[in-house]
Amino acid sequence: RVSKRYLKIYTILVLINQQRRLRSFIDASISDEDLPFLKSKELNPHKFSPFRLALKSDLSIEVSCLQEWDEFDVENFYREQDRVLTPFLSLETPVSHVQFYDKCILPWMEEGLGQEGGYGMVTSVKIHPTSHGFHNVDQVKHGCKLFALKKMTSPKIKDFENETKMLRMFSGHHHLIRLLMSFSWKGNNYLLFPWAEKDLEAYWSDKSPPYDALGERMDAGSMSWISKQILGMTSALHSIHNPKQPASLDKADLRYGRHGDLKAENILWLKGLGCTGGRDGILVIGDLGISAVHRVVSRSNQPNQKIPHTPDYRPPECDLEGGKISRAFDIWTLGCLFLEMVCWILGGPSLRTDFTTARENVPYLGANYFTSIFFDI
């Protein structure tokens, strides 16, 4: 009785017209789980060395059942194995990081055009439905069948590690973007998320505001949805500021998060009929790339010179000499965001523009130039 699986090996053998050799793999107990077979310097030390393949578990050990093969057939096996080794992308808790080998063919059925995001290039991908285990994730099952693939472009590995760490720590709240997995491939690092149809900036531009100024009527259903989103995003930010932690931790070891870049472009609209957001979808906080986690002793003691920020939304402490940055930074920027949302609710994009223009009438720090920040010192 054969207990191991040999379907992939048999498929490769059929592709290279060597199916009669299946018995030798079974006899050697070399099965699908041993794929892919790899080239190694130990077995191929020179350019003109015979083409030999090693087991991935030990690159010094040659695949025994290929030792008697013609070099041409070994090369065919090596080339064709990639056609049957498309990986299954699984959802794990905690979120997994996978290292794919360079020749691996990822299960993308379609791939869109990339656009710049925080620290990376974001591309839409359609994954074959039999090649992933994300079907029951709320942010996936009720939306379109696309995913967001973020290729990290920052040369600093710490930027990738920081964003992955933040997403793993805070993923789980309905109003925070869900990290599905992270992986490395061909020397690059990637993050995989549910696909967002648009960000809040685009949503404000595309959607009609709830208030009809001509008829002086407010759409109750839309306002109910907006109120739920405001409550949800506030709750999501609270979960970043006060993440769940083991009760056994000493107070000095407790960790507190800060998003650091709340703005309309980092609020994502996920469409979905039955998800938490109802018929109008849901707004989620995204782009945790510059988020930070601090212990209690340092959570309110970060120098303002080291904190990246969106110019219009920055709080006063960013412009004060010796100012310190705390979680209140996020509260201010979220307030700025909500104030702009109120403008959109009551007057759409035109009232937002008027509000920006009005803020530009205040000289910056008494100087002879103007900005659209939300405070005056």
Does a structural domain hold residue 372?
Answer: no
Q: Are residues 163 and 202 in the same domain?
A: no
Q: Are residues 168 and 238 in the same domain?
A: no
Preceding omega of 107 cis (within 30 degrees of 0): no
Per-residue pLDDT tens digits of the chain, which is 377 residues long: 567 899 999 999 999 999 999 999 999 999 999 998 988 878 877 777 788 899 988 888 999 999 989 999 999 999 999 888 888 898 877 777 888 888 888 999 988 877 776 667 889 999 988 889 898 888 887 766 889 999 987 666 666 777 677 777 777 789 998 889 889 999 899 989 999 989 999 999 999 999 988 888 999 999 999 999 999 999 999 988 887 755 555 555 556 677 878 899 999 999 874 455 556 789 999 877 545 554 443 444 454 444 445 668 877 777 666 666 678 888 999 999 999 999 999 999 999 999 998 888 766 665 666 778 877 75
Q: Are residues 60 and 203 in the same domain?
A: no
pTM: 0.76
Q: Are residues 39 and 129 in the same domain?
A: no
Q: Provide the sign of the torsion angle of the four alpha carbons 176, 177, 181, 185, taken in this order.
A: negative
Q: How many angstroms separate the CA atoms of 57 and 366, rounded?
A: 68
Does a structural domain hold residue 90?
Answer: no
Specify the amino acid at residue 136. N
Q: Are residues 185 and 211 in the same domain?
A: no
**Boundary (domain end) residue, out of 163, 194, 225:** 194
**Three-state secondary structure call for residue 8:** helix
Does a structural domain hold residue 224?
Answer: yes
Which residues are 89's β-sheet partners?
A: 132
Q: Are residues 145 and 202 in the same domain?
A: no
Domain housing 204: 198-366
Q: How many angstroms separate the CA atoms of 315 and 329, rounded?
A: 6
**Boundary (domain end) residue, out of 178, 194, 210:** 194
Q: Which of 289, 269, 274, 286 is nearest to 229 (CA)?
A: 269
Residue 129 has φ and ψ, to the nearest 5°, of: -60, -25
Does a structural domain hold residue 87?
Answer: no
Burial class (CB in 10 A: 0-12, 13-18, 19+), 277: buried
Does a structural domain hold residue 86?
Answer: no
**Boundary (domain end) residue, out of 158, 177, 194:** 194
Q: Are residues 159 and 299 in the same domain?
A: no
Q: Are residues 185 and 150 in the same domain?
A: yes
**CATH number assigned to the domain comprising residue 179:** 3.30.200.20
Q: ∠ CA(266), CA(202), CA(119), 5° rounding? A: 35
Q: Are residues 130 and 247 in the same domain?
A: no
Does a structural domain hold residue 344?
Answer: yes
Output the pLDDT for position 97: 84
Name the domain count of the chain. 3
Residue 194 has φ and ψ, to the nearest 5°, of: -60, 155
Does a structural domain hold residue 206?
Answer: yes
Q: Are residues 165 and 233 in the same domain?
A: no
Cβ burial 246-267 (10 Å sphere, 16+ → b, else e) = eeeeeeeeeebbbbbbbbbbbb
Q: Are residues 319 and 209 in the same domain?
A: yes
**Three-state secondary structure call for residue 299:** coil
Q: Are residues 356 and 207 in the same domain?
A: yes
Q: ∠ CA(197), CA(157), CA(262), 5° rounding? A: 40
Does a structural domain hold residue 375?
Answer: no
**CATH number assigned to the domain comprising residue 296:** 1.10.510.10
